[in-house]
Amino acid sequence: MLNLLKIICFLIVFYALPTIGTAQTFEIFAELNELNGAAFEMFAELLIDYENGECSVIQDHGDHQEKMGSGIGFCSPGELYTLGQWNTPSAGILYTFDLQTGEYEFITDALFLHYQAGNPRLHKVACVDNFLFTRGLNSIWKVDLSTEEVSFVGNTTPFNLATLDIGIMDKMVLFGTGHAAHSYLQGIYELDIDNPPNSMRIFPYPQSMWQEYWSRTFVGSPVCNTVFVIRQHNNFGDRNGAFYNVDNHSYKLICDMQSYWFQNITSMAEHIPLEECEAIIDLDAVNVSGAGGYDYLHDEVYTCLTENGLPIAAEKIFIATDETIQEMNVEILSPLVGESLVTLGSVAGIDVAGEGTPSLTLLNSGSVGSAYFIEMIQLINYYNSGESLNEGIRQVRVNFTSTSGKQSNDAYGMIEIVELDSVFLEMDDMVHFCEGGSITLSPVVLP
């Protein structure tokens, strides 16, 4: 598609409920710059498949830079607001855009008149109820869509918002930190409307590597307590689309966005109530094993030389839930003789039932958060004490239920079993051990 060469596209994210038997996806449109590409505009729709880790452009809507260049956002499901690009005939004008017909409707020039009165130019669009939030250089403003009144919310100088988008998640107004903010402040914040400098950081970027996590733009997603971001620091970002969970601060890499530079994103998913979100568990959040989906395939094989078993999950695990986890189930599918699950430690607030059997139940006895369950999963190993190992892939299924009754997907930890040749020693008792292993025989002095 020739239009994929365009430099700037506008991304608006739509939410689509997954159906049984289909991948979990949602649709997006965004303001993009194609890296090293030709300089012309595009308003495009993308499909984000967060189960299979694929992101693709599915429709190009053409050039809409003039009337969308300063911001896009859903102010209610199905109603897309756009803010005209400054230094064009549409500067500071607020429109609605009909996604079916491609037509604009004038809403107000209040933001242009606000600028003419000596105030800063305003950029970005994010709506909660009947209020539209936008930003100046380092300040937050809001527009009452009923009265068209523009009012000052507060300064955000410590956070350096000069180039950043504003997002919404479950009626929370979100913003991120700019390049110039101190490393100890870096992250995504929930706006304190009464006192912006007092805004709460809900996803901290690790201080020593904040550039890797940094995102210019983000948006609420269909997944519980999770925002969709593009990791795109100029020098250090990997340009991956990712999920950041604001509850336990785990993250999940979704897809490669190497070709584009994102400016603004918005989504109908911003307005999904928490009770309708999706609970997710991913045993390999950065897909180091290449298993795909929400699964993990251990890079070592299990043999009779393996001691203490092998972990059922990768180092990075992603969990998203609406409320606290009530119960998590971990079980070996179709277990064979000698197969079991063992724990290498304990986590405060979580009781484990079934230790040493093919099935574990993790119970939230201390009302602990989901981060504790991530820690507990990291302590679970697959173990096989059978004298004869049957070769093949063993699957360990993991899922959970929250206190609201919401159930997660099934994620699978997979272990490959390899049978090594055995060496037998015929003595008073038959002794056998694996080829490549060793055994120590102590001499017995007969009386």
Domain range list for the chain? 2-278, 296-422
What local confidence, expressed as pLDDT, does residue 7 receive? Answer: 36
Phi, then psi, of 294 in degrees rounded to 5: -110, 20
CB 235 within 8 A of CB 41: no
Strand ranges, E, within 61-165: 71-76, 79-83, 94-97, 104-108, 123-128, 131-135, 139-144, 149-155
Q: 342-358, pLDDT tens digit by residue?
A: 999 999 999 999 999 99
Residue predicted with more confidence, 171 or 14: 171
Tell me the DSSP string of 208-275: GGHHHH-EEEEEE-SBTTEEEEEE--TTT---EEEEEETTT--EEEEEE-TTEEEEEEEEGGGG--GG
* pLDDT on residue 216: 85
pTM for the model stands at 0.89
Domains 2-278 and 296-422 are alike in CATH topology? no
| pLDDT tens-digit map of 240-284 | 999 999 999 999 999 988 778 787 888 888 999 989 999 999 999
pLDDT at 58 over 80: yes
Tens digits of per-residue pLDDT, 340-397? 999 999 999 999 999 999 999 999 999 999 999 999 999 999 999 887 788 899 999 9
Q: Could you identify the residue written with the tokens 């099934």?
A: 410
User: Can you name the CATH fold of 296-422?
Assistant: Immunoglobulin-like (2.60.40)
CATH of domain 2-278: 2.120.10
